[in-house]
Amino acid sequence: MGSKGEQFAGLTVALVTPFADGKIDEAALRALVDFHAESGTDCVSPVGTTGESPTLSHDEHEQVIRVVCEQAAGRIRVMAGTGSNSTSEAIRLTKFAQSVGADAALMVAPYYNKPTQDGFFEHYRAVSEAVDLPIVLYNIPGRTAKNMEPETIARIGELDSVVAIKESTGSMDQASQVLAISDLTVLSGDDSLTLPLLAIGGRGVVSVVGNIIPDDVKAMLVAFDNGELAEAQQWHARLFPLCRDLLGLATNPIPIKAAMGLLGRDTGDVRLPMTPLASGELAELKTTLTGYGLLSATG
């Protein structure tokens, strides 16, 4: 397995950001890191999409990365979200993440301003020249409004510090092309597509559902790695309804925060313009959690 970012293979959990009274709940955030360190999660990724990065202030963004790195204390890797649609801001956030001990930067493609393919390359080149930290690309055109094409990803992947990509296009063709023309480590950015992606050469997942059941996601990855395909398929089938709901009932991270609340691991409400899960969807989520065995039928 010679992919470039092999140290980031396995289970990375895209951490939610806990809030209390409108502020970052530091104690709850530290408890989340402990939970994952003890659960065998390989890596945590704070302040990504699931961590509500768009509605955190710059100070809060840095606070979350600092607290997670402090609490990880070398027990678990930290892949900090440091992407921005401003290259100078991405450089500043990535430098900060490096200064507090992050192991990598997860850098979403510049969003909203829709750069050209050359613009994507120059953005990542500028960051890689300014900061000496492994970079994981994050391609999610459904949120950014512009796809980084496979040829562009391969070109960016030739930069020394760019080691992996979180692949969130939903396209197996795109993922296959990236795997064919680059040596980047490809990580699934969509829980329900993790097993298919592993089958074509992916090496892990940046998981939302891992916030609540990291052991089960890890079990599927390990089964696949061990060549136990039937067991991996069983895990996929078991995980699928939960993966579907957590990314389908409403925009991430609305459902995962609702699920954590239902499971007694409340991390506070989402911040506006995100709104809590509507009652109909909440009932559906309860049914799925009960079916999975996480909630009792009477509760």
Which one from 146, 166, 218, 257 is the annotated catalytic residue?
166
What is the Cα–Cα distance from 49 to 115, expressed in whole angstroms?
Answer: 20
Q: Is residue 111 flagged as an active site residue?
A: no
- Please spell the DSSP secondary structure of 231-291, one letter per residue: HHHHHHHHHHHHHHHHHHSSSTTHHHHHHHHHTT----PPPTTS-PPPHHHHHHHHHHHHH
Annotated active-site residue in 124, 138, 146, 257:
138
Q: How many residues are recorded in the chain?
A: 299
Q: Which phi and psi (to 5°) does residue 156 adopt?
A: -65, -35
> Which residues does 92 contact at the CB level (< 8 Å), separation at least 6?
none
Across-strand partners of 107? 137
Q: 23 catalytic, yes or no? A: no
CB 24 within 8 A of CB 16: no
User: Which residues are known to be catalytic?
Assistant: 138, 166
